Amino acid sequence: MNGNEERLWKLLSDWNIPVLPTAAVSSPGAAVEVAKTLGHPVVMKLLSPDITHKSDVGGVILDLGSDKEVKDAYHGMMKSVKQHLPEARIEGVVLQKMAEPGLEVIVGAKLDPQFGHVIMFGLGGIFVEICRDVSFRVTPVDREMAREMVLEIKGSPIIEGTRGREPADLEAIIDVITVLSSMLEKNPDITEIDINPLIVYSRGSVAVDARMLTK
């Protein structure tokens, strides 16, 4: 992992933001062993400092359920990436336990030149990308403000549960927003951060992916 990525996951774990168990490996043999420890099924993601959009080059493979599938995926990924981007440096792969399905949300922040850190909340996927259904608050964000943020987006009924779906854990989302706010206060050099997706269950949540930019 590059320095920022390593720091990001360490920050998330130091601040008790739940993350999916993750490990980096650099050989197919190690991948098989680690996948077994994490528990199948797993996700494999390419580890390369030169590639941002991993899925475009075959650098993300989901739902690997056995030793053989893990081994084949490793070889297949290396081949595919070399075909697409022969010059890219490859450090290995990251393995992550597959997340149980839940409600995908995004919690992020950016440093605004006038107002300092600003936190964003939205539902994942097309809600954030196409509908821009998101809310913002300047830090520090307390629990009451975080609750308002979550409930003011247009899609908030989805969080409260619709069509037989159980309501998602609102308090868990509020936890992540407020913890992120405190974390940013202690880490003023962070210019952009996304926890995307944060998967929210009827009890608890888990950060599946995240990225961060620093000064």
Partner 1 sequence: MGLISTERELYGEIQLTLKAIFEPESIAVIGASATPGKWGYTILKNMLGNGFPGPVYPVNPKATDILEQTCYPSVLDIPGPVDLAVIVVPISHALAVTEECGKKGVKGIIMVTAGFSEVGGEGKQLEEQLMGIVDRYGIRLIGPNTLGVVNAHAGMNASIISKLPAKGGISFITQSGTLGLALADWTMEMGIGLNIVVSTGNKANVDDVDLLEYLVDDKQTDVIAMYIEGIDHGREFMELAKGISKPILAVKAGRTRSGSKAVFSHTGSLAGSDDVYSAAFKQAGIIRIENIDDLFDSALALSVQPAPVGNRVGIISNGGGASIIASDTCERLGLTIPGLEPGTRASIKELVPKFASYSNPVDTAGLASYETYNGIVKHMLRDPNIDALIVIYVHTVMWDSRIPANAIVDIHRDRCIKPVITCWLGGAGTEAGIDILKTGGLPNYPVPERAVKALASLVKHHGFLEKVKE
Residues at the site binding partner 1, with contacts judged by CB under 8 A: 52, 106, 108-110, 112, 114-116, 118, 120, 122, 128-129, 132, 134-138, 145, 192-194, 196, 211, 213
Q: How many angstroms separate the CA atoms of 187 and 75, rounded?
A: 39
Other beta carbons within 10 Å of 202: 13
Q: How far is the CB of 192 from partner 1 (least distance, A)?
A: 4
Smallest separation, CB 106 to partner 1 (Å): 6
Q: Which is nearer to partner 1, 97 or 117 (CB)?
A: 117
Residues 6+ apart with CB under 8 A from 81: 46, 48, 51, 57, 58, 59, 88, 90
For the CB of residue 159, give the shortest distance to partner 1 in the complex, in Å.
18
For partner 1, give the closer residue by CB, 40 or 211.
Answer: 211
Supply the minimum distance, in Å, between the C-beta of residue 148 and partner 1.
9
Please write down the HEC assignment for all residues of 113-124. CCCEEEEEEEEC
Choice between 116 and 155, CB closer to partner 1: 116
Nearer to partner 1, 140 or 167 (CB): 140
Element (H, E) at 164: none
